[in-house]
Amino acid sequence: MAIVGTILQEVIKKKKVNLEKRQLDFDLQEKTLWQLLQKAKNTEFGIDHHFSNILHSTDFIQEFRHNVPVCDYENLFKEYWHRLLEGEPNVTWPGKVRFFGLTSGTSNDASKRVPLTRDMIRCIRRVGIRQLLSLAELELPPYFYEKSVLMLGGSTTLVKMEKYFEGDLSGIMASRLPFWFDRFYKPGVIAREKDWNIKIDKIVKKASQWDIGGISGVPAWVQILLERIIEYYHVNTIHDIWPNFRVYTHGGVNFTPYKKSFEKLMGREMFYLETYLASEGFLAYQRKKDHPMQLVLDNGIFFEFIPFNARNFKSDGTLVPDPEVRLLDQVTEDEDYAILLSTCAGAWRYLLGDTIRFTSVKDFEIVITGRTKHFLSLCGEHLSVDNMTRAISEISESMNIDIHEFTVAGIPYKKLFAHKWYIGTDQPADPGQLKILLDKTLCRLNDDYAVERKAALRDILVEILPSRAFYDWMKIKGKEGGQHKFPRVITGLYNEWDEFVQRYK
């Protein structure tokens, strides 16, 4: 009998009930902003932007928005954050910053250094525990709570700079897990390994010695690991090695294109839970089965939202001056928003770069729809990552093929424009049929795209590549493993990428 597991299960259920008794409303956000301003009022940023006066205002939220401009990473780093790297204290948050998370980014982007304060690390841990409590919703058997959790992230060996440490957020958090979690945590010391392929080899060889109940990690890299384990041990499914594996927690990208491939690796029913953990903070997680993620309203992050439309963003995804900004109690459902964050890591009205959509304003439930700079609008087609992902998922089902990765570029074509698609699959597929289905599906999903296909968007071009082409590219760009993912829209490196993939034809 799983005595320890039974006890843990009961504790989790009780704590979950207590957590659900808390009323979720905008008042939690008001309180969060007040606490942030109060704590940061004597920092240089707080003095420069009159936090003390804001706190004495009758409408402190409106005064905060009036005094603090919307900013992006480049502006905040140039004006304030670069001094944190020199060990200067009390710049945008009290005290010194010892840890900097390297943003996962994509193979298009250079990594950015985002401060991880002690307060933010505590907040991330707190939400992680809340997510653990949400497992009670799944009605898992008691023995599940005695199984190990495999966290497939970046290296826990951090890079020591002169005045600070830097690394993947997943590596930083794994290196600072609470002591009581040690008995459950895998891959243990293997997580220190910096070379992704060596790390995978070591995990594969140890896999049969572990009893894994849950896994967390970016879908592409977890899928590669599971395939390697199945191949190494000559088994049919991952459950032949890990029979108690029941929960996979994913984030960073839309899971829909990967789900079909994942299910082929499984031997029993799985629970897939989504999480929204960015280098800037833990924004949301899936609390209930078959529900979208829910924003975390009371844990060191104050949210604002910019409607993601042509009035607020230029065609290249950059923000216009003085955009429309809404508070949480002003958003509507079924409209895309770019997110602004003010946090206990010293980010203030910071443009995160992700876009989300509210599926339930009442319950603060959201889905991630893309990135502000990862969409296509060469001639007014306004094609979002959400459109692309849904189309690829439908085509995968219709043609009965697994599409592991994809990316698309907007290019000049016959004096007008075209979209060039690169589709990653390891199964035979007819490019002509795929092109026709893709075009028809996108026309159905997006009216603007349908209009422009009769005008300036002259054609779509499709190249089918083996999945390894995408992963090989990530490797040469130093973005292999961890939290890294391939961009759904490839822009600045298009010519280099197009030349690179010719070797796979």
Alpha-carbon gap, residue 290 to 270, rounded angstroms? 12
DSSP string, 316-331: TSPBPSS---B-GGG-
pLDDT on residue 1: 40
pLDDT on residue 18: 55
- The edge-to-edge listing of strands for the beta sheet with 185-186 is 185-186, 148-152, 212-217, 247-251, 271-278, 281-285, 293-295, 365-371, 350-360, 336-343, 301-307
Q: Which residue has the higher pLDDT, 363 or 482?
A: 363
Which tokens sit at 148? Answer: 């190990």
Is the predicted pLDDT of residue 4 greater than 70, yes or no? no
Alpha-carbon gap, residue 238 to 231, rounded angstroms? 10
Residue whose tokens read 């030349």: 499
**For the ranges 43-57, 112-126, 474-488, which has the lowest average pLDDT?**
474-488
Residue whose tokens read 């936090």: 51
- Tens of pLDDT, residues 430-443: 999 999 999 999 99
Query: In whole angstroms, what separates CA 38 from the centre of its chain?
Result: 30
Residue 173 is which amino acid?
A: M
84-122 as b/e: b if 16+ CB within 10 A: bbeeeebbbbbebbbbbbbbbbbbbbebbbbbbbbbbbe
Pick the closest to residue 290 from 274, 306, 277, 275 (CA basis): 274
Number of helices and strands (H, E) in the chain? 16, 18
Q: Are 72 and 87 in contact (CB under 8 A)?
A: no
- Tens of pLDDT, residues 440-464: 999 999 998 998 999 899 999 999 9
Which residues are registered as beta bridge partners of 371? 354, 374
> Where does the pLDDT of residue 97 fall: very low under 50, low under 70, confident under 90, or very high at 90 and above?
very high
Report percent pLDDT > 90 for the chain. Answer: 61
Indicate the class that CATH gives domain 385-504.
alpha beta
Alpha-carbon gap, residue 366 to 384, rounded angstroms? 16
> Where does the pLDDT of residue 5 fall: very low under 50, low under 70, confident under 90, or very high at 90 and above?
very low
Mean pLDDT of 8-13: 50
473-486 as b/e: b if 16+ CB within 10 A: bbeebebbbbbbbb
> Where does the pLDDT of residue 470 fall: very low under 50, low under 70, confident under 90, or very high at 90 and above?
very high
Coil, helix or strand at residue 148: strand
DSSP H helices, 134-217, are 169-174, 196-206
Pick the closest to residue 204 from 150, 282, 129, 124 (CA basis): 150
Q: Let me know if 6 is exposed, middle or buried by CB neighbors in 10 A (0-12, 13-18, 19+).
A: middle
Residue 254 is which amino acid?
A: N
Q: Are 99 and 165 in contact (CB under 8 A)?
A: yes
Residues 83, 84, 87, 91: is their CA dihedral positive or negative?
positive
The answer to whether the peptide bond before residue 428 is cis (omega within 30 degrees of 0) is no
Phi and psi at residue 172, to the nearest 5°: -65, -45
Cα angle, residue 97 at apex, residues 92 and 103 outer, rounded to 5°: 90
Pick the closest to residue 325 from 42, 80, 48, 65 (CA basis): 65
> Where does the pLDDT of residue 105 fall: very low under 50, low under 70, confident under 90, or very high at 90 and above?
low
- Tens of pLDDT, residues 57-73: 999 999 999 999 999 99
Q: Are strands 148-152 and 212-217 parallel, antiparallel or unpaired?
A: parallel
> Where does the pLDDT of residue 260 fall: very low under 50, low under 70, confident under 90, or very high at 90 and above?
confident
pLDDT on residue 13: 54
Alpha-carbon gap, residue 471 to 481, rounded angstroms? 9
Which residues are registered as beta bridge partners of 300? none
203-241 as b/e: b if 16+ CB within 10 A: bbeebeebebbbbbbbbbbbbbbbeebbeeeeeebbbeb
